Amino acid sequence: MMTHLMSTRRWLACGAAALMMATSPAAMAQRAGDIEVAQAQALPSIPGARNGGGFLTIVNHGKADDKIVAASSAVCGHVELHTMSMENNIMRMREVGDIPLPAGKTLRMQPGSGYHLMLMDLKEPLKIGATVPVTVKFAGGGQMELQLKVEPRDKIAGGGAAMPGKGMQGGMH
Ligand SMILES: [Cu+2]
């Protein structure tokens, strides 16, 4: 684990251009124990917005439930775990204590509903093509250093699916 963390840091130091060349969607898949992060993505931030949205596709290959209990990133002040839902015809986000990863299931975070990582107080805008380092901690004790690729909304979580309310919360992320 230690070795892995150190090599990740060294890799980060290579700069954005190298990161972009080295990073294809297939290369994003990362596994630690039973937890596999198949996709790690973020939406481009709205100009002037202080916050951004991060979205993971996570497979729990294990027989035990796990959950995300915390996340952090160097690109923002702090990262909150959020869920979004429709309440009285208004999209609302709220912070949650954890994001469940049930045994044997895949969690696909998507813009517009359900769970996401909220990158609070961005230090700079998230631009398409950029890579955002995020550390995610699990209840099982493990943690993963992920590289979220900033991609257009229709590319998130395999994307393309027309979702009701898709355009509605564009201002929120
Ligand atoms: Cu949010």
Kindly state whether residue 130 falls inside one of the protein's structural domains: yes
User: Do residues 83 and 63 touch, judged by C-beta distance below 8 A?
Assistant: no
| Assigned domain for 7 exists | yes
Instruction: Please tell me the predicted confidence (pLDDT) of residue 3.
Output: 42
Distance 83 CA to ligand 1 centre (A): 6
Averaged in consecutive runs of 10 residues, what is the pLDDT profile of the chain (173 residues)? 43 42 56 94 94 97 97 98 92 95 97 95 96 96 94 86 44 48
Helical residues (DSSP H) of the chain, grouped into ranges: 2-12, 16-22
Range of the domain at 133: 2-152
Vertex 42: Cα angle to 41 and 44 (nearest 5): 140
Helices and strands of the chain, counted as H and E runs: 2, 11
Distance in Å, CA 125 to ligand 1 centroid: 16
Model confidence, pTM: 0.77
CATH code for the domain of 90:
2.60.40.1890
Q: Which of 40, 18, 16 is nearest to 150 (CA)?
A: 40
Residue count of the chain: 173
User: What's the gap in Å between 132 CA and the centre of ligand 1?
Assistant: 17
pLDDT at 28: 60
The total number of structural domains in the chain stands at 1
Handedness of CA 60, 131, 23, 13 (dihedral sign): negative
C-alpha 71 to ligand 1 mean position (Å): 13
